[in-house]
């Protein structure tokens, strides 16, 4: 005699909603390149700002060649770390492209990087053309404003408290730097704290998350 086929187990509306939510949100393993950019950039350029604070207060009085070598060394070190991270990302393969939230976050930070490059060119050319270094200093303010927007988007998608704190801190830093352009010591102080707190610290969190995801932790 033919046997009756087993009926599929009915899913509740809550199960369906949970499934759809997992598809849309998913997890987000930050690319190592992005994480290292934040961590290394915050630490290295925060150190450079501390160096300039020492110069402004008279604690550091190096010859011009030594000053130039130190500043160039910061950028060389950052580019070396960035190159390592890019090669590591290529070796490990593309990170978590499936979920909508993951793709949105990756696109947001990529777009922010593109905007930063455009702003760098605009303010750099303007400062050289007008022979006014203060114009260049506005660049950092815009960078923090763009970062704040990206982190706010990240918070709306992931609802992690440190992301909201980074977004609000970036917004406050952007305003402060824009107001303090003609106050070099205060400007450097704010920029130093912001680089460590809003770049290096989030970068460390992302590096930790990226490593945990790559090891299945």
DSSP state of 11: P
How far does Cα 50 stand from its chain's mean position? Answer: 20
**Joined tokens for residue 43:** 């630490």
Distance (Å, whole) CA 197 – CA 176 = 15
Q: Confirm whether 8 is domain-assigned.
A: no
Q: Confirm whether 175 is domain-assigned.
A: yes
pLDDT in tens, 20-66: 444 344 455 667 788 888 999 999 999 999 999 999 999 999 999 99
Q: Confirm whether 66 is domain-assigned.
A: yes
Distance (Å, whole) CA 166 – CA 44 = 19
Q: Confirm whether 85 is domain-assigned.
A: yes
Q: Confirm whether 3 is domain-assigned.
A: no
**Joined tokens for residue 135:** 């114009």
Q: By mean pLDDT, which of 62-66, 71-75, 97-101, 175-179 is the weakest?
A: 97-101
| Under 8 Å between Cβ of 155 and 167 | yes
Q: Confirm whether 122 is domain-assigned.
A: yes
What pLDDT, on the 0 to 100 scale, is given for residue 13?
A: 53
Dihedral sign for Cα 56, 62, 65, 66, please: negative
Indicate the number of domains in the chain. 1
What pLDDT, on the 0 to 100 scale, is given for residue 170?
A: 97
Rounded to the nearest integer, the mean pLDDT of the chain is: 81
What pLDDT, on the 0 to 100 scale, is given for residue 17?
A: 44
pTM for the model:
0.78
Q: Confirm whether 185 is domain-assigned.
A: yes
**Helix (H, G, I), strand (E, B), or coil: what is residue 173?**
helix
What range does the domain containing 66 cover? Answer: 30-214
Is residue 147 very low, low, confident or very high in pLDDT (cuts 50, 70, 90)?
Answer: very high
* Cα-based angle 126, 127, 130 (whole degrees, multiple of 5): 80
Q: Confirm whether 10 is domain-assigned.
A: no
């Amino acid at each position: 005699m033919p046997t009756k086929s087993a009926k599929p187990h009915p899913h509740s509306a809550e199960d369906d909603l949970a499934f759809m939510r997992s598809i849309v949100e998913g997890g987000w393993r930050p690319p190592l390149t992005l994480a290292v950019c934040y961590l290394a950039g915050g630490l290295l350029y925060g150190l450079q700002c501390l160096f300039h604070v020492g110069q402004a207060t008279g604690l550091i009085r190096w010859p011009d060649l030594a000053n130039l070598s130190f500043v160039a060394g910061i950028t060389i070190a950052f580019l070396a770390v960035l190159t390592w991270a890019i090669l590591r990302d290529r070796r490990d393969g593309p990170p978590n492209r499936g979920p909508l939230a993951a793709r949105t976050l990756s696109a947001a930070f990529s777009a922010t990087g593109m905007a930063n490059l455009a702003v760098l060119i605009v303010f750099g050319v303007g400062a050289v053309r007008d022979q006014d270094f203060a114009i260049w200093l506005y660049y950092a303010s815009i960078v923090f404003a763009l970062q704040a927007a990206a982190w706010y988007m990240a918070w709306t998608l992931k609802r992690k408290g440190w992301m909201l704190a980074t977004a609000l801190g970036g917004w406050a830093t952007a305003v402060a730097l824009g107001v303090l352009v003609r106050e070099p010591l205060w400007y450097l102080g704010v920029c130093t704290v912001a680089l460590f707190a809003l770049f290096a610290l989030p970068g460390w969190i992302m590096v930790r998350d990226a490593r945990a995801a790559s090891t299945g932790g």
